[in-house]
């Protein structure tokens, strides 16, 4: 694509305007080729989630994902995206320490990758950071419920806000995030009746994952949806394909063909004219007798 070709991505305002009009389909992607497929399939938002630490890099959790890694993957995703809004995760500890650090790191993420919206995990304790980012011109997606960056204090990857008190706190946090300027809010692993109540009370779209169908949209991890990640599949995932075995069988068939000499055949090879082959054999014979 030429640098002059105009790409018209959806914007955070388009996402806001979808509230109450249509459900939003959100999916993660972490590289050029998958982003292209996801974008062609017509999702509204492509999230470059820090889940990349697990599904792309084979780590145990998201905590070790760095800003540089988020920048690297986001750049690739943007190259493959024409229409969807791309949102990049701010990694663990890139915004928690305070407003200045959050601004500095979000600026790096936006300037170095080209992304135009970021996601942060957490509630009322990160409001100053969200307000500062929005004031600086960076659209922010919030994330409440099971926030994987805080899994250690949440007791692991567990459903959150199951009692009335915690549920009320989550509703208050959701309203505060909206007030701080978030344009949308991910609700992860919370009871469906709570997610519905949050969604009814917010003017910004909620994007559920393990939060039932009362949300304004849904998000899944690319590898979970396609059956590409075997280490752990949460109960809330629906697999739309089982590509893992298909890929493994294709690779095994290729390896078998190579070992049997069945690949490549002449249709995959480049030819040379008989005249040039004869010349080559003559110069080769000469060269080999003189060396
Ligand atoms: O990192 C991620 O992929 C996410 C989604 C699961 C919401 O945060």
- Above pLDDT 70, what percent of the chain? 98
CA distance 59 to 188: 20
Q: Is the CB of 94 under 6 A from ligand 1?
A: no
34, 47, 140, best to mutate for ligand 1 pocket (most atoms within 8 Å of CB) = 47
pLDDT of amino acid 49: 98
What would the mean pLDDT of 92-102 be, rounded to a whole number?
97
List the residue whose alpha carbon is closest to atom 3 of ligand 1: 49
Q: In the prediction, which pLDDT does 234 show?
A: 86
pLDDT tops 90 at residue 176: yes
3-243, CATH topology level: TIM Barrel (3.20.20)
Residue 117 has pLDDT above 90, yes or no: yes
Nearest to 12 by CA among 176, 205, 169: 205
- Identify the pLDDT of residue 213: 97
Q: Of 40, 112, 121, 188, which residue is the catalytic one?
A: 188
Residue 12 Cβ inside 6 Å of ligand 1? The answer reads no
Range 192-220 average pLDDT: 98
- Mean predicted lDDT score pLDDT of the chain: 96
Task: Please give the pLDDT value at position 5.
Answer: 59
Residues with Cβ within 8 Å of residue 214, at least 6 apart in sequence: 192, 193, 195, 196, 199, 200, 208
- CA–CA gap between residue 187 and residue 218 (Å, rounded): 9
Which ranges in the chain belong to alpha helices (H)? 12-17, 32-40, 52-55, 67-79, 99-113, 127-135, 151-154, 164-180, 192-201, 222-225, 243-260, 274-290
Looking at residue 4, its pLDDT comes to: 53
CA 252 / ligand 1 centre spacing (Å): 32
Q: Do residues 188 and 210 lie in contact, with contact meaning Cβ atoms separated by under 8 Å?
A: yes
Which pair of structure tokens corresponds to residue 30?
């972490």
Is residue 1 pLDDT above 90, yes or no? no
DSSP annotation string for 151-169? HHHHTSS-----SHHHHHH
Closest listed residue to residue 92, CA positions, set 131, 115, 122, 56: 122
Q: Rounded to an integer, what is the distance from CA 274 to the centroid of its chain?
A: 52
Q: Whose CA is nearest to atom 2 of ligand 1?
A: 49
Q: Is 275 a catalytic residue?
A: no
Over residues 47-95, the pLDDT tens digits come to 999 999 999 999 999 999 999 999 999 999 999 999 999 999 999 999 9
How does DSSP classify residue 56?
Answer: T
Indicate whether residue 186 lines ligand 1 (CB < 6 A). yes
Specify the pLDDT at position 231. Answer: 78
Q: Is 121 in the pocket of ligand 1 (CB under 6 A)?
A: no
User: Which neighbouring-strand residues pair with 188?
Assistant: 145, 209
- Model confidence at 291, pLDDT cuts 50, 70, 90, reads confident
The neighbouring-strand residues paired with 85 are: 45
Per-residue confidence (pLDDT) for residue 230, from 0 to 100: 83
pTM: 0.94
Domain extents in the chain: 3-243, 246-290
Measured CA to CA in angstroms, residue 257 lies from 40, 61, 244, 247, 279 at distances of 32, 38, 20, 15, 32
Q: In this model, does residue 3 exceed pLDDT 60?
A: no
The string of pLDDT tens digits covering residues 224-257 is: 999 998 877 888 999 999 999 999 999 999 999 9
């Amino acid at each position: 694509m030429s640098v002059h070709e105009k790409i018209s991505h959806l914007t955070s305002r388009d996402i806001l305007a979808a509230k109450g009009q249509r459900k939003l389909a959100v999916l993660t992607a972490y590289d050029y080729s998958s982003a292209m497929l996801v974008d062609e399939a017509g999702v509204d938002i492509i999230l470059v989630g820090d889940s990349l630490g697990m599904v792309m890099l084979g780590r145990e959790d998201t905590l070790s994902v760095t800003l540089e890694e988020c920048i690297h993957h986001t750049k690739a995703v943007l190259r493959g995206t024409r229409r969807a809004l791309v949102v990049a995760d701010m990694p663990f500890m890139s915004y928690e320490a305070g407003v200045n650090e959050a601004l500095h790191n979000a600026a790096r993420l936006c300037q170095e990758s080209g992304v135009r919206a970021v996601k942060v995990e957490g509630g009322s304790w990160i409001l100053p950071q969200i307000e500062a980012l929005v004031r600086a011109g960076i659209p922010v997606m919030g994330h409440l419920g099971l926030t994987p960056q805080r899994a250690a204090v949440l007791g692991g990857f567990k459903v959150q806000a199951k009692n009335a008190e915690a549920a009320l706190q989550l509703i208050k946090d959701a309203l505060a995030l909206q007030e701080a300027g978030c344009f949308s809010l991910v609700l992860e692993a919370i009871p469906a009746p709570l997610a519905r109540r949050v969604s009814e009370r917010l003017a910004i779209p909620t994007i559920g994952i393990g939060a039932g169908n009362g949300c304004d949209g849904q998000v899944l991890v690319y590898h979970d949806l396609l059956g590409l990640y075997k280490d752990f599949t949460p109960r809330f995932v629906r697999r739309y394909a089982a590509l893992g075995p298909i890929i493994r069988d294709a690779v095994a068939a290729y390896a078998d063909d190579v070992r049997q000499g069945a690949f490549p055949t002449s249709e995959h090879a480049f030819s040379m004219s008989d005249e040039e082959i004869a010349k080559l054999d003559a110069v080769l014979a000469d060269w080999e007798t003189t060396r």
